[in-house]
Structure 1
């Protein structure tokens, strides 16, 4: 059993069956991440044999089924202190969703531990980004590393903003004119209060957790360090792949996310033909 507590690997799943593409992702995880504790995070009571048959070293970590019952609940889980406290014995957490792929274990070279949060960089247009698209703030979370204690502290700060939430509910929520004025007075610094985006912590307000860590948390907790776009490129690609490779000086990143959606690009680097992926899982 690996002894390192530098980083743990979290593999969230919600169904007992594993697809061919997910099996490829899991095989890459086994090949390059066996030096870390790899946790299969799954709904309590779910059959995990399909996963452990491919990666016998997985550590089984059942959670409340509600946490993984929908995309919204999954996003809520990843912005809850309880989730990070489960793994507080580690310094960092790698979120490895089973549409990710890792090419090597060079985490230090990829600056994985240089920030509180790093993943594939965002481009304008996201999945429809065109060559020349500008970078946007933040990183995708499907294949990402985050500093566990920094995440816990940031979420604790947000939890202490209840009186601002009440102020928002009583005044700003009902007056677009007042929201505009507040934004002008603060030069946009408190945009998260004006728009109510920090409501993810207090109400049924859905926002993808990677946007929370990328855009909301840094405004509320300026010390929380999100990777700059060029550092993020060395860590992972997801969108605008040809442009990403060019910007990264022709070098592949540590890993990638949503590879199976872009086989025209990734089939050149992942040694599995798109029509025979199921039969060639062992070739990863």
Structure 2
């Protein structure tokens, strides 16, 4: 699918309920799309069942609904897209852009990240050993324009930085699935946390290898707790109180530097979102998280 109209998305991993940091990212991606008359999608990145409580997906979708954040198309679940990811892997292997790798983490560490076997040349002896599939990066000083951060440049090193596409356990990796689905859904613009910034150069090469143009990027600061840690399940970020959607959205707008009027605290969530879309100013986002 291709599109010239703005199409954005929010793509959480269901490792726990939605927290405030996730709401800020969801709201930023929603407002960026709606302020441009575009479409906004939700994709659940449920690729790692070992880290995903069975109730988490429902909690996330219920929270988004409670806050008035409804997608313009049915929610996509990556757990139902295995055939598409496998087809992409087979294509990359045929093209020479992917390779099977049986090197263990310990072996790679012992060789400073270089492969002790000729994996990239397709000559390693896989045998009965479990193997991952990796993307074969090319040496590159990747440059692009971030819509908030401005000009960006990342150096990637072939072999040392090769990302995993299929894990040894048989799970499809984020780096593959996110690109395959962004291409398939015609995503033109990606708004996400700056903690994912370092993955951009690798992903741009995967887009190119799959014959697609990368989206535009907008990386927003992550929200930190009082200890200076990113809000996450690992740092015990509390779940959103879905009974207080207006308060949560108002605070999220403040975190995004949007300066909503205090009168909005008495409005409905729909009214608040309508105001926010009309007055959205991406350049007002603070470059340091609060």
**With structure 1 as the length reference, what TM-score do the two structures score?**
0.35
Higher helix share: 1
**With structure 2 as the length reference, what TM-score do the two structures score?**
0.34
